[in-house]
Structures are given as structure tokens and as C-alpha cells.
């Protein structure tokens, strides 16, 4: 299967999934979306395996790496800034803002914890850090 065919099939699978989910939501059939989503993921994985061309290479990983780093940095900075601003407003007589401020600040903290652990994991996996 060519990559082009795979992309068309992926598009069709997503369309069917969206249609099914829309029907399920409109008619209140709660059991449809989860199996439909699982089926869609399975169908995409199976069709992906049939593609013989090289679809992803090192450049894609470099792009993903840089994009995720930028997204992480921008997201963390924006969330921290907004969180701190909301916290300041909360202390300035707007107590109803506190849950939003806390949610943002704790999310940033959580993000950094995940970042630290993933850095440690990859440092170990990729070597370095200990002189021999």
C-alpha cells in the first residue's frame, strides 16, 4: 500500500469515527464511542503496517523533538505567568479565582516533575553523566 492510500484510508476512518460519535451523542447511545475509537485505532495501525514506503525518518523525530520542546517551554511560561497573575488577583480580593490559579500553578509544577523524571530516564538510557 502506498503512503497516499494510507492517508486516504486514515481520513475515511476518522470521518466514520466522527460520524459514529456524532450519532452516539445525538441519540444518547453511550456505548458506541469507546469501541468505535478502539476499532479506529486498530484499523489505522493495521493499515499503517501495510505501507511499504518509508513514512517517518530521523528528520520527523528531530522536528517532533524541537516542536515539543517549544510547546513545553511556551506552555509552561504562559501557564506559570497566568497562574501567578490569577493568584495575585485572588489575594487582592477575588477569592473565586483561587481554584483556577491553583490548577494552573499545580499543572506547571506537575509538568516540571514529568520533565525531570523523563530527563533522568533518558539520561540513563542514552548514557553519560558518570565518569569512568
Partner 1 sequence: MMARITNHIRRLRFENNEMTQEELASKAGCTRQTIIALEQGKYVPSIELAFKIARVFGVKLEEVFRYER
Residues that bind partner 1 in the complex, under the rule CB under 8 A? 53-60, 62
Write down the least CB distance from residue 12 to partner 1, Å. 23
**Shorter beta-carbon distance to partner 1: residue 57 or 131:** 57
Closest CB to partner 1 among residues 59, 125: 59
CA-to-CA dists, residue 11 to 8, 64, 122, 129, angstroms: 5, 22, 34, 45
Q: Report the nearest approach of partner 1 to the CB of residue 80 (Å).
A: 33
Q: Minimal distance in Å, beta carbon 58 to partner 1?
A: 5
Q: Who contacts 50 (Cβ-Cβ below 8 Å, separation ≥6)? A: 1, 6
Amino acid at each position: 500500500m502506498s503512503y497516499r492510500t494510507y492517508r486516504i484510508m486514515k481520513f475515511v476512518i476518522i470521518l466514520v469515527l466522527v460520524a459514529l460519535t456524532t450519532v452516539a451523542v445525538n441519540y444518547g447511545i453511550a456505548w458506541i464511542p469507546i469501541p468505535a475509537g478502539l476499532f479506529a485505532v486498530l484499523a489505522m495501525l493495521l493499515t499503517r503496517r501495510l505501507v511499504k514506503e518509508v513514512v517517518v525518518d530521523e528528520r520527523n523525530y528531530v522536528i517532533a523533538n524541537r516542536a515539543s520542546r517549544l510547546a513545553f517551554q511556551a506552555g509552561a511560561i504562559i501557564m506559570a505567568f497566568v497562574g501567578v497573575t490569577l493568584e495575585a488577583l485572588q489575594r487582592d480580593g477575588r477569592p473565586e479565582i483561587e481554584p483556577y490559579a491553583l490548577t494552573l500553578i499545580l499543572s506547571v509544577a506537575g509538568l516540571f516533575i514529568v520533565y525531570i523524571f523523563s530527563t533522568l530516564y533518558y539520561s540513563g538510557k542514552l548514557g553519560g553523566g558518570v565518569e569512568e
